[in-house]
Amino acid sequence: MVWGTYDLGKPRTRLMVQALRHSGAEINEIHAPVWEGAEDKSVMHRSDALRRGLRWALAYPWLVWRFARAPRPDVVVVGYLGHLDVLILWFFARLRRVPVVWDAFLSLYDTVVMDRRMVSSSHPLAFALKAWEWLACRAATKVVVDTEAQGAFFRDFYALGQNKVASVFVGAEASVFPPATTRNENDRRRVVFYGQFIPLHGIATIVEAARLSGSRPLDWLIIGMGQQADVIREMLEADAPASLSWTPWVPYGELVKHIASADVCLGVFGASEKAGRVIPNKVFQVVSAGRPLVTRDGPGMRELVGEGAEGIRLVPPADPAALLAAVEDLIAEGSGARDLHGDLRSRFSIEALAERWKDILMEVVL
């Protein structure tokens, strides 16, 4: 059973459900949509937040009733964003002796306090978030995150046992991000970033790299909005690189066109510890599309590429000069002229994700 208010607007969640179905498990979905359409929950308008909060609260009586009436499952999977779901379900799952696998995916405390620095670690909200997440981890039989580096963080920060936490790569929707068949035929080379404007992504580093590129034949495109949009807007108003353009939004299904036409795609460049532990959606999507990639080095990325991979350059965090040098190196190498990453794609294919999820479910059922 997949249960809760999980956010099907997130590729992570859609791929999780798809992988569970592909694993051969019989899936019964009991789902109340709350978060769909909220790309960045930290910048929601007050009215939207209140409306979704009310919908969130009203969803639980129905969800619990459906769980109680459904045939007893072998295991319940709670998807992201399930921090409250897993606590609500805790008593009822224990009553029916059903193990609960919670796809925490990431730490809210780490995101809000340590990465985005929206509140200080001494703020009451920080203490509340930490206590909430600590309790949620104990309400689940197994906690799932996206990388082993993230798993190590959860084990250390919340004092969890080695077998309590497992990891599954995010992956990419192969039908949306197939290997690119088009190429940039212009003399000027194209460098593309897309994503939320949050500290983890290091947008300022990209802007500085574009500024350092000066008169080189490089065109930089950044696509996105979010928490730091005003900061980036001020940077560009003060001294905008002539070669950089900013598009606030592109439909999800059209992102692959920008990836395909790029000579180099960009990942994340933030300096936080979290930025080093994760492998973001865009990395898997760019690899799925077979395009050259520059992103920051860290233990998370090393889980995917090991000591390195053709067409991928890993750079230090918050280092515009290193970013620019890596972009120029990939262009000089000519990686953009061919399909790349076939070996890496198999690491996060739907078959690989399904096998990993199957192993996790069997661990808690047997």
List pLDDT tens digits, range 8-49.
999 999 999 999 999 999 999 999 998 776 655 555 567 777
At 39 the pLDDT is 59
Residue 134 has pLDDT above 70, yes or no: yes
At 336 the pLDDT is 67
What type of residue sits at position 253? G
At 186 the pLDDT is 77
Of residues 227 and 37, more confidence is placed in 227
At 173 the pLDDT is 97
Of residues 52 and 287, more confidence is placed in 287
Structure tokens at 76: 């319940």
* Mean pLDDT computed over 155-165: 98
How far apart, in Å, do the first and last CA atoms of the chain sit?
16
* Mean pLDDT computed over 279-305: 97
Judge whether 303 and 297 are in contact, CB under 8 Å.
Answer: no
CA atoms within 13 A on the CB side of 173: 16
Dihedral of alpha carbons 25, 29, 35, 41, sign: negative
Q: How, if at all, do strands 189-194 and 29-31 pair?
A: unpaired
Residue 86 has pLDDT above 70, yes or no: yes
Residue 304 CA to residue 13 CA, distance in Å, equals 20
Residue 246 CA to residue 61 CA, distance in Å, equals 44
Q: Nearest CA to 113 among 99, 102, 127? A: 127
Question: DSSP class of residue 111?
Answer: I
Of residues 234 and 334, more confidence is placed in 234
Residue 337 has pLDDT above 90, yes or no: no
Of residues 264 and 38, more confidence is placed in 264
* Mean pLDDT computed over 144-158: 98
What type of residue sits at position 353? L
Judge whether 299 and 273 are in contact, CB under 8 Å.
Answer: no
Q: Nearest CA to 296 among 281, 318, 265, 324? A: 318
Q: Which domains does the chain have, with CATH numbers?
A: 2-172+349-365 (3.40.50.2000), 189-347 (3.40.50.2000)
Residue 366 has pLDDT above 90, yes or no: no
Q: If 0-12 CB within 10 Å is exposed, 13-18 middle and 19+ buried, where does residue 100 land?
A: buried
The answer to which of 86-100, 163-177, 196-210, 338-352 has the lowest mean pLDDT is 338-352
At 56 the pLDDT is 84
Question: DSSP class of residue 42?
Answer: G
